[in-house]
Structure 1
């Protein structure tokens, strides 16, 4: 069984707009994380940063499999309508960078890249090795615990490449 989740090390939760309170939670409300961004003057906003003025970011908790985004405004954009008429909140790949022009142009964006992590099962490699169905079957494979939640993953050993989940799947790398 594979376990897929949103990477905590390669994603971030972001919000932008000058009248924005946003948070991320799982479907069971076991956690909330988020940020606030308010500004009434475009000169306070700095492109390329997540400074908290016009935009903000926070880390994604480890092991998130599902989530819900809540977005609230404080003053109906009354003090920023001309330059920031909307608020946005989303999960995005860490490479996503903020630009003040996004205040007006982002409304047409329907998808953003995110990074998913996966692991086999929900047991550590030590626990899984003792059971039938251990996934790292190639003799030249190595197993390691997932760093982003429960489960384990496999790699071909140094000097080998291929698929460690298949017998004979890791082949020696030949040098010229």
Structure 2
């Protein structure tokens, strides 16, 4: 299960509150984006503050606040980076960059002794095109745009450029380079490199301001315990609907809730799983 957020990292964590049902009248949409419990918009509309959604007309953002565009730490949240839906991408005509990822807190690298520091995974790519004619719209195979996959279960990352690569030979048509973790369906446009005026009104212009509008996908859990442990605390247990099931996440930490086979709906709501399904129809 994954939820898509526009990449506006406004992060703030708090201790999870006891489970309760959202009151009537909670918004169900932010623009065209559907927001379902345990996420919520407005006071008391989510499972806990970690699941609060900030809605600015059509823009959806989470309420967490430990990171920037180049460094993110999700270890105190129920989220991690989806390895199936995201890619690390580098844009530029002479640009090389790397992303270091970890399943632990990135701050442990600074404050913990070397032997107890988290394991980092590092990947990256190099984008080169010595002429504007080499850039191709929609192509991200190394000329103007390159991409690489990320490992499973990562909760923190740090992006760094290789400054041996620069735009001195291509500054006439592509003066800037970019690196970002982004949803894999991102479509490269040559104008992202050839038009860099952040005040330009062209929708295809790429700038640091525009980068905040692109998307990254988070996987998430309802709680950080295993199902076995979560079921022992019914006050905080998230799978409250009858005919719901608890499922341990493959990361080994945390669980989500599904409706039992043959039922449909929202397992996080009382009586949220309806059914059963029979002969291709619904009976509830």
Give TM-score, length-normalised by structure 1.
Answer: 0.82
Q: Secondary structure at 1:24's aligned position in 2?
A: strand
Partner of 2:256: 153
Give, in whole Å, the separation in 2 of the partners of 1:119 and 1:141.
15
Whether 1:109 aligns to 2:184 is no
Find the partner of 2:187 among 94, 97, 110. 97
Most deviating of 54-63 and 146-155: 146-155
Whether 1:13 aligns to 2:113 is no
Higher normalized strand content (fraction of residues): 1
| Superposition CA RMSD, Å | 2.7
Give, in whole Å, the separation in 2 of the partners of 1:30 and 1:75.
23
Per-residue CA distance 1:93-117 (angstroms, 9 max, x = gap): 1110112111022124141211111
Relative to structure 1, the CA distance from residue 114 to residue 75 in structure 2 (aligned partners, 3 Å threshold; closer, same or farther) is: closer
Q: Secondary structure at 2:221's aligned position in 1?
A: strand
Find the partner of 1:52 among 139, 142, 154. 142
Give, in whole Å, the separation in 2 of the partners of 1:106 and 1:144.
41
Relative to structure 1, the CA distance from residue 39 to residue 74 in structure 2 (aligned partners, 3 Å threshold; closer, same or farther) is: farther
Q: Which has the higher contact order (CA 8 A, sep 6+)?
A: 1
Partner of 1:132: 233
CA contact (8 A) 1:19 1:73 kept: no
CA contact (8 A) 2:94 2:170 kept: yes
Partner of 1:142: 245
Give, in whole Å, the separation in 2 of the partners of 1:48 and 1:96.
9
Q: Secondary structure at 1:106's aligned position in 2?
A: coil
Aligned-pair CA distance for 1:86 = 0.3
Aligned-pair CA distance for 1:37 = 1.3
Q: Secondary structure at 1:67's aligned position in 2?
A: strand
Partner of 2:66: none
Give, in whole Å, the separation in 2 of the partners of 1:7 and 1:93.
9
Give, in whole Å, the separation in 1 of the partners of 2:251 and 2:271.
28
Give TM-score, length-normalised by structure 2.
Answer: 0.54
Aligned length: 175
CA contact (8 A) 1:62 1:149 kept: no
Per-residue CA distance 1:74-126 (angstroms, 9 max, x = gap): 3531111122110001111111011211102212414121111101344544x
Give, in whole Å, the separation in 2 of the partners of 1:162 and 1:141.
10
